[in-house]
Structure 1
Amino acid sequence: MDEVAVSSGLLKQTLEAWEKQQPVPAVWQSFVAWPQLRGLSATELSLRLYDLCQEMVQQQLNGQRQVEGLPPITPPTTRPAALAVLVQEFSQNSEKLEGWSTLYHRHFSPVSLRPKEIETAVPHSRRNVDRRHRQGVDMLWELLYRQEMTAMGRTEMARLCRHLPPPDYAHLFGVETLLNRLLEWAVAAESLPFFSIEGIGGIGKTTIARAAAHQMAKRGGWADVLWVSARQYNLDVEHGRLQPTTRAAQTFADIALHLSEQLGQLHLAGLPAEVKLERLQPILKANPHLVIIDNLETLADVDMLIPRLEPLADPTRFLLTSRHTMSRYPYIHILPVPDLSLADSQRLIESELARRHKPPSLTPAQMATIYQTVGGLPLALKLIAAQLARRPYEQALSWLQQADLTDPYIFIYRHAWHSLSPPAQRLLVDIMEIGPDGENWEGLELLSGLEGVALGTAVDELIDVSLLETSHQQDALLYRLHRLTVTFLRADVLGGWKMW
């Protein structure tokens, strides 16, 4: 029902219709909070609506009676009984109780009382009786209005979120700061229209994007929320296996097609990708849309896509996730996703164990060993939790230290490894043993034997594919490898991958 239609005037019309035994306004069939009213005949609508309102009024009346220390009302079957209940309710000196009482006894009691009867029984002036009646009508209207607005909000939320994937999490840990940054970006008029969530595979980019999109939709202000996934595989955490996805976008043309379909522009299906985006531009420029493109790095022609999306932006916002940095584009905000802290990593594992009805029994030393091996990588921590739910800690640790968990990740690392130049590959292996705090530029030169432009080019390559991370300590820029990257290098690169 339209917000304006939910008015006290509509309720007064309806009460009068019941008094005169006339049909109630048909607009009630579009009342979102009560879908059971749809498709009814005029007679059925009047009866069903009356039953629903009667139940609501009696519930509110009993609530107020309880506040005043009175027992729940027994619907009166005789006029003297109805008048006795009315007098009891008016003797409590509660305006709210008197308002619900007047509304109930006028319209919803099995024995309806006329205004004159109420005026005589209370005793109150006719003016005061009318005031209490208006108060009761207004309270019922406010209740109906709140219920309808809540239902409309749920319906609108469901519409906006229809393209979002189901959440792959029960609880989120350690991402509040990242989510707040994304929410601020979404509403800041002066912000760049693109935001790229970046980090190593399994760090939680998709989870953060999905959670942010859901919260942005909840806040409203969007004509629609679109989600296009370029993810080629999903990970079965329970069994540590990769499952191919269906309809994953692989090219610029696929992205254009998915956007057209989600915007309802099915007639654009046969047109070239560039033409599709030209036809979508007026829609996306007229009203703000939120567009999420997940796993952008798997697209074959990402450098063709990004410049063609830029004309569609503002007021529309684009939220991207990628293992490769988009920092070369001046109109894209970059949000690197850090590891979870040790404490948040333990909370995540314990949450996963609790979800499987297993006691969270990790000691600080056991958790420290896990964290030393894989760091705060959410997907790896979920894999470990799945193992801990099935086997003792010692066996799970042996599985972990033998790097059996490399299988689900191997496509990530092999793809990244083979995309590197030989100098970048050498640098990655040479710096494998740097400490968790990182190494400065001079340290990289010393460890790798590279310097100047050659070292700079190799470092840029590793950063671009999220294999090398940077941090600032005082005035120094430090470089470090993710712990899981080191695990893979030891188990697979040094164990037999073709290097250079």
Structure 2
Amino acid sequence: MGEMIPFNANSLYAQLQNSLKAWEATSLPIDALKGLLTIKQITGDPQGSLRQFIVEQIDALEKENKQHADLLRLRFFEGATIKEVAHERHLSRDQVNRQQRRAIEHLAELIYQKETALRQERLQDIQKRLPSRDYTQLFGNEKHKQLLAVTLLDPDKYHMVALVGMGGIGKTSLADITTREIAPSFHFADIFWLRFPQNNLSEPPSHYFVFNWVVSKLASHFQLEEHSDYHQFLWVRQYLNQARYLIVIDNLHNETQTPELFKKLEEFAVPSKILLTARVRPAPQSTVFSIMMNEIDLKNATDLLVHQLDAIGQRDKAAQVKEHMPEIYATTGGNPLALKLCAGLLYSLPLPIIIDEMEQRHIRDIHDLYAYIYFELWKGLSENAQILLEAMPLADDIHGASLEHIASVTKLPEKDVHHAIQELSQASLIEPRGSIEERRYSIHQLTRGFLLKEIIVWDKGPQ
């Protein structure tokens, strides 16, 4: 993994001192002040960028302490020795050394404050573009998270990475939490999260369609909308090849994962990285490194289900669930979404009935399991909750919908919207996001798929 330059006041002091001491040399230390966002890069001239940055920061220092700024200019820009400065200022050499140390410390603190403020601003901007979190913690995926983080932060290996697993296994959540944890390192110049739309597509899109969609989204981030499609592609490729970006492409169609698509996406990789979430493993001949996500084990499944019961106000059922967890696990497996939806079923059905019906239906695969759970949840909803749930596919894929937006779409009175939201939350069908001050709501992609494709036959029961 590439070495991460530490960012703190002490490391800044040491790097500044090394740079100033080498000022008259042909080149400054190659890693001096590496990774600072406040350095404005001059294309093709990293030495010029660094020198210009130091000059500008000493000019800024002058506004706070002219004596410190003058001393640094005299010592390093003009090349005066400690002895010469001591003679000129009628000071001892020790006094000059102490003043010089304080001046560099002052300069380092000034840069540190600016850098910290800029990093906080950049991080907030990145976080606004990530999906609103619909989870409080993950269960059973720590090893996957560590592997993904190490792979993304290694500049020399695997520039295209795929999280692969069945629907509801937690791919998007794992990609999200890993991205959030590595973002503060600023290993990447920026992070873009693209969620491929599943709505309004009558047939699987071609790899050309997907690639052009990716280009258009990235062009929008880089403010290139006024350019032609071809020039958007050229500019986007240039940006991604000049600096290290992370592009997350979430929710790819199985049919679009062709060698042709990956070959075109490769043009955007190096030094950038592309992270995909997909249900099907990319073809072996592709250059994508796949991380296979399997079901979580019984212990983590139990912890997740108890955690979800607590979240929806059903903590009193935890003891019964723990007692019958082997039977539940035998049917649901360790699929996180299926477990969360089972917690929702417990809001309206006794656990023994749920277990008996699952066993009697001889559920063959995960699709049958979801069909049963969604249908039972749907039957137990009030009319207003059904109306609201039917409208949720219109919510923003990444950030969800506000209460005001939901009310305007459903035409339900505000009081009824609140009751329906509470009912759907207790059924684990809707996912609260955002903060308490700015609460938003969304549904899982699988829930969206069942609503769009199967709701018209739900009155007849799951097929």
TM-score normalised by the chain length of structure 1: 0.48
Alpha-carbon distance between aligned partners in 1 of 2:209 and 2:341, rounded to the nearest angstrom: 27
Q: Is the 8 A contact 1:8 1:137 kept in 2?
A: no
Q: Which has the higher contact order (CA 8 A, sep 6+)?
A: 2
Q: Is the 8 A contact 2:259 2:283 kept in 1?
A: no
Number of equivalences = 287
- 1:257 pairs, out of 216, 239, 249, with 216
Q: CA-to-partner distance for each residue in 1:87-130, whole Å, 9 max, x for gaps?
A: xxxxxxxxxxxxxxxxxxxxxxxxxxxxxxxxxxxxxxxxxxxx
Q: Which AA in structure 1 matches 2:211?
A: F
Distance 1:389 1:259, change over 3 A: same
Q: CA-to-partner distance for each residue in 1:114-173, whole Å, 9 max, x for gaps?
A: xxxxxxxxxxxxxxxxxxxxxx99999999987765543321112223332112211111
Alpha-carbon distance between aligned partners in 2 of 1:365 and 1:217, rounded to the nearest angstrom: 41
TM-score normalised by the chain length of structure 2: 0.52
Q: Is the 8 A contact 1:252 1:302 kept in 2?
A: no
Q: Is the 8 A contact 1:290 1:316 kept in 2?
A: yes
Where 2:226 maps in the other structure, the secondary structure is helix
Q: CA-to-partner distance for each residue in 1:49-99, whole Å, 9 max, x for gaps?
A: xxxxxxxxxxxxxxxxxxxxxxxxxxxxxxxxxxxxxxxxxxxxxxxxxxx
Where 2:301 maps in the other structure, the secondary structure is helix
Shift of 1:354: 1.5
- 2:267 pairs, out of 311, 315, 322, with 311
- 1:407 pairs, out of 368, 371, 377, with 371
2:336 maps to which residue?
378
Distance 1:12 1:400, change over 3 A: farther
1:200 maps to which residue?
166
Q: CA-to-partner distance for each residue in 1:343-380, whole Å, 9 max, x for gaps?
A: 11111111111112321334544111111101110111
1:181 maps to which residue?
147
Q: CA-to-partner distance for each residue in 1:416-445, whole Å, 9 max, x for gaps?
A: xxxxxxxxxxxxxxxxxxxxxxxxxxxxxx
Q: Is the 8 A contact 1:230 1:298 kept in 2?
A: no
Shift of 1:286: 0.2
Alpha-carbon distance between aligned partners in 2 of 1:331 and 1:202, rounded to the nearest angstrom: 26
Q: Which AA in structure 2 matches 1:323?
A: R
1:368 maps to which residue?
326
2:202 maps to which residue?
none
Q: Which AA in structure 2 matches 1:406?
A: Y
Q: Which AA in structure 1 matches 2:193?
A: W
Distance 1:357 1:145, change over 3 A: farther
Q: Is the 8 A contact 2:341 2:373 kept in 1?
A: no
Q: Is the 8 A contact 1:294 1:321 kept in 2?
A: yes
Q: Percent of aligned pairs with the same residue? A: 24
Based on CA coordinates, which of the two structures has the bigger radius of gyration?
A: 1
Which residues in structure 2 correspond to 1:307-456 (within 5 Å)?
A: 307-359=263-315, 360-398=318-356, 400-401=358-359, 402=361, 405-407=369-371
Alpha-carbon distance between aligned partners in 2 of 1:397 and 1:278, rounded to the nearest angstrom: 56
Alpha-carbon distance between aligned partners in 2 of 1:383 and 1:144, rounded to the nearest angstrom: 52
1:266 maps to which residue?
225
2:194 maps to which residue?
228
Distance 1:146 1:227, change over 3 A: same
2:237 maps to which residue?
281
Q: Where does the alignment leave 5 or more consecutive residues of structure 1 unmatched?
A: 17-135, 234-248, 411-494
Residue 158 of structure 2 is aligned to residue 159 of structure 1? no
Q: Is the 8 A contact 2:302 2:322 kept in 1?
A: no
Alpha-carbon distance between aligned partners in 2 of 1:354 and 1:221, rounded to the nearest angstrom: 37
Q: Which AA in structure 1 matches 2:132?
A: P
Could you say what the CA RMSD is over the residues aligned between the two structures, in angstroms? Answer: 4.2
Shift of 1:190: 2.5
Alpha-carbon distance between aligned partners in 2 of 1:285 and 1:184, rounded to the nearest angstrom: 21
Which residues in structure 2 correspond to 1:204-215 (within 5 Å)?
A: 204-215=170-181
